[in-house]
Amino acid sequence: MAVLSILRYPDPRLHRVAEPVREVDESIRQLVRDMAETMYEAPGIGLAATQVDVHLRVVVIDVSESKNELQVFINPEIVASSVECKTYEEGCLSVPGIYDDVERPERVTVKALDQHGQAFTLEADGLLAVCIQHEIDHLNGRVFVQYLSRLKQGRIKTKMLKAERSAA
């Protein structure tokens, strides 16, 4: 197991579109274990492979209070979304310290493979629904700040670049 380093916005690699996993093999299971360890260590509730500079369609999520309910989504696809939307204050491990409101469908049905290559379908609402949509966006090269105004995006970019410089 290993804690992987997380790309920080505005790193251009966060905008790459991830490739589907062809076969869920031991190397994918190793990636899932490393991503889970990275997410728990952060700590966070969701992480997409894109954020650790692996451009494959793999997501890990744990929205439980006890942090022992890992959910793995390989090649996730949203097959249905509710018309009703809900606003949630989102954050992101790739944009530390920044939280803002994003509106998304309130419920989604997601189809994916688990770490054994077994297909499953899940209906999600609440925080899990927000998290799944946020993480699938990462696989498509989209970071939540892109839902905010241009003005806010610019301010966030400047703030992140300054923080990066003072950390170096």
> Residues interacting with Co ion, by CB under 5 A?
92
CA distances for 136 relative to 19, 46, 60, 144, 165, angstroms: 12, 10, 11, 11, 29
Beta bridge partners of 122: 110
Measure the CA–CA gap between 98 and 156, rounded to whole angstroms.
Answer: 8
Residue nearest Co ion, Cβ-based: 92
Are 135 and 112 in contact, with CB atoms under 8 Å apart?
no
Residue nearest ligand QAP, Cβ-based: 44
| Amino acid found at 91 | G
CA distances for 149 relative to 13, 20, 44, 98, 145, angstroms: 21, 31, 25, 14, 8
75 vs 133 by CB, closer to ligand QAP: 133
Measure the CA–CA gap between 135 and 143, rounded to whole angstroms.
Answer: 9
Least spacing, CB of residue 144 vs Co ion, in Å: 6
Least spacing, CB of residue 131 vs ligand QAP, in Å: 4
Query: CB count, 10 Å around CB of 4?
Result: 18
44 vs 76 by CB, closer to ligand QAP: 44
Q: Annotated catalytic, 69?
A: no
Q: Which residue among 36, 60, 92, 129 contacts ligand QAP (CB under 6 A)?
A: 92
Binding to ligand QAP (CB under 6 A): which residues in 93-152? 93, 96-98, 130-131, 134
Least spacing, CB of residue 98 vs ligand QAP, in Å: 6
Binding to ligand QAP (CB under 6 A): which residues in 26-55? 42, 44-46
Q: Which residue among 11, 15, 78, 91 contacts ligand QAP (CB under 6 A)?
A: 91
**Which are the catalytic amino acids?**
135
Q: Which residues bind ligand QAP (CB under 6 A)?
A: 42, 44-46, 88, 90-93, 96-98, 130-131, 134
